[in-house]
Copies of this chain bind each other. A is one copy, B any other.
Amino acid sequence: MSITEFLEITLLNIRNSEEIMGRRKIEIKMVKDTNTRQVTFSKRRTGLFKKANELSILCGAEVAIVVFSPGNKPYSFGHPDVESVASKFLEQEPRPNMPSSSSSSCDVNMEKLNQQLNNVMEQLHEEEKKGGVYDKALNQRKKTKLEELQEMLDLAAELKFNVKSRLDDMEAVETMLMIKEKPMEFDENHVSKRKRKED
C-alpha cells in the first residue's frame, strides 16, 4: 500500500466516523415536496443549459433545448438558436455544406466583458444587502443596471450577427477562389438516432 493510498483510507475512515451524514443521494423519481421540486428544477435546468452550452462550444455542435417547468413556464436554450435547429431537425432538411471550422484565441475581450458583468451583478447585490429601504432612487439604479445588461445582450447578439455575416463573406471568397480544403460531400448519411427516454 502506497502512502497516498494510506492517507486516502485514513481520511475516509476519519470522515466516516463523523456524525453528520449531510448531503445524500436521491432517487430519480418525482420529488413530492412542491417547494423542493421547484428548487431542484431551477438548479438542474441551469446545469442542463450549461452543459448544453459547453457541448455546443467544445464540439461545434448545434443544440436546441426546450423545457416546461412544473409551473408550465417555458425555458429554452439554443445554439445558434432554437428555431433553426428545431426546424432543421423537424424538416430533416438535407443541405450541402460549406466550410467553417475550429479555433484559436482572443479571450481577453471576452474576459473583460464577463468582468463587467460580474461587477454589475456585484453592485446589484451590494445595494440589495445594504438597503432595508428600497426607495425610488434605488429602484432607478437597479433599473439602470437592467438596462445596461439589456444593452449588453443586444450588443452580444449584434456581434454574433456581424461575425456570422463575415463568415458568409469569407465563405463566398473562398468559393470564388476555388479553395477547396477538403473535397468532401455527405448528404446520404442522415441516419436519425433516437435515445431512450424512460418514464
Contacts and interface: CB of A to CB of B under 8 A. Distances in A.
A13 to B, nearest CB: 10
B128 A177 contact: yes
A43 B97 CA distance: 22
Contact of A78 (B47, B116, B197): B197
B10 A14 contact: no
**A interface SS class:** helix
Interface string A13-47: 01100000000001011111000010011001111
A165 to B, nearest CB: 7
B103 A30 contact: yes
Q: Which 4 A-B pairs have the closest CB atoms?
A: A104-B151, A103-B150, A102-B150, A30-B103
Given A31-B58, A66-B89, 20 more contacts: A28-B58, A31-B59, A41-B55, A44-B55, A44-B58, A45-B61, A49-B161, A56-B157, A60-B154, A60-B196, A73-B189, A74-B192, A83-B93, A100-B194, A121-B170, A149-B170, A152-B163, A153-B160, A153-B163, A157-B187
